[in-house]
């Protein structure tokens, strides 16, 4: 919710939707592909890393960011290998600004 609010403050014209799980996110992306997808590592069902990998496989133009408190090296390496951006929690206005800038490059 905080991430949504911070993004909406920076980009009020962006449409923001939420999924309750990785599977639901994949279904939503298939119906209406977004520009930006933000995932956590720990999600119901499949992990955020698995979801990110599936997104990159089927929709390589969609930019994906993993937002997580899990900052272990293997998580960073997995995000890099999957071709997704990494943002560590806690989410701050500064980290969201950097994330938004990443998606606008």
Total domain count, the chain: 1
Under 8 Å CB-to-CB from 90, ≥6 apart: which residues?
69
CATH number of the domain at 35, please: 3.40.50.2300
Using the predicted structure, report yes or no on whether residue 29 has a pLDDT greater than 90.
Answer: yes
Using the predicted structure, report yes or no on whether residue 28 has a pLDDT greater than 80.
Answer: yes
Using the predicted structure, report yes or no on whether residue 72 has a pLDDT greater than 80.
Answer: no
Using the predicted structure, report yes or no on whether residue 5 has a pLDDT greater than 80.
Answer: yes
Using the predicted structure, report yes or no on whether residue 2 has a pLDDT greater than 70.
Answer: yes
Look over the chain and give the mean of its residue pLDDT values, rounded to a whole number.
85
Q: Please give the residue range of the domain that contains residue 52.
A: 2-104
User: Which pLDDT value is given to residue 70?
Assistant: 66
Range 92-105 average pLDDT: 83
Using the predicted structure, report yes or no on whether residue 27 has a pLDDT greater than 90.
Answer: yes
What helix, strand, coil percent values describe the chain, rounded to 5? 50, 15, 35
Alpha carbons 27 and 77: distance in angstroms, whole number: 26
pLDDT, greater one: 69 or 32 = 32
Using the predicted structure, report yes or no on whether residue 103 has a pLDDT greater than 80.
Answer: no
Range 78-100 average pLDDT: 84
């Amino acid at each position: 919710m905080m991430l949504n609010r911070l993004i909406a403050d920076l980009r009020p014209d962006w449409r923001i939707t939420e999924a309750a799980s990785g599977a639901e996110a994949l279904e939503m992306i298939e119906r209406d592909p977004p520009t930006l997808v933000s995932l956590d590592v720990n999600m119901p069902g499949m992990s955020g890393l698995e979801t990110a990998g599936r997104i990159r496989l089927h929709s390589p133009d969609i930019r994906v960011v993993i937002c997580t408190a899990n900052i272990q090296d293997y998580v960073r390496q997995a995000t890099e290998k999957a071709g997704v951006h990494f943002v560590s929690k806690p989410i701050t206005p500064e980290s969201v600004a950097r994330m938004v800038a990443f998606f606008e490059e």
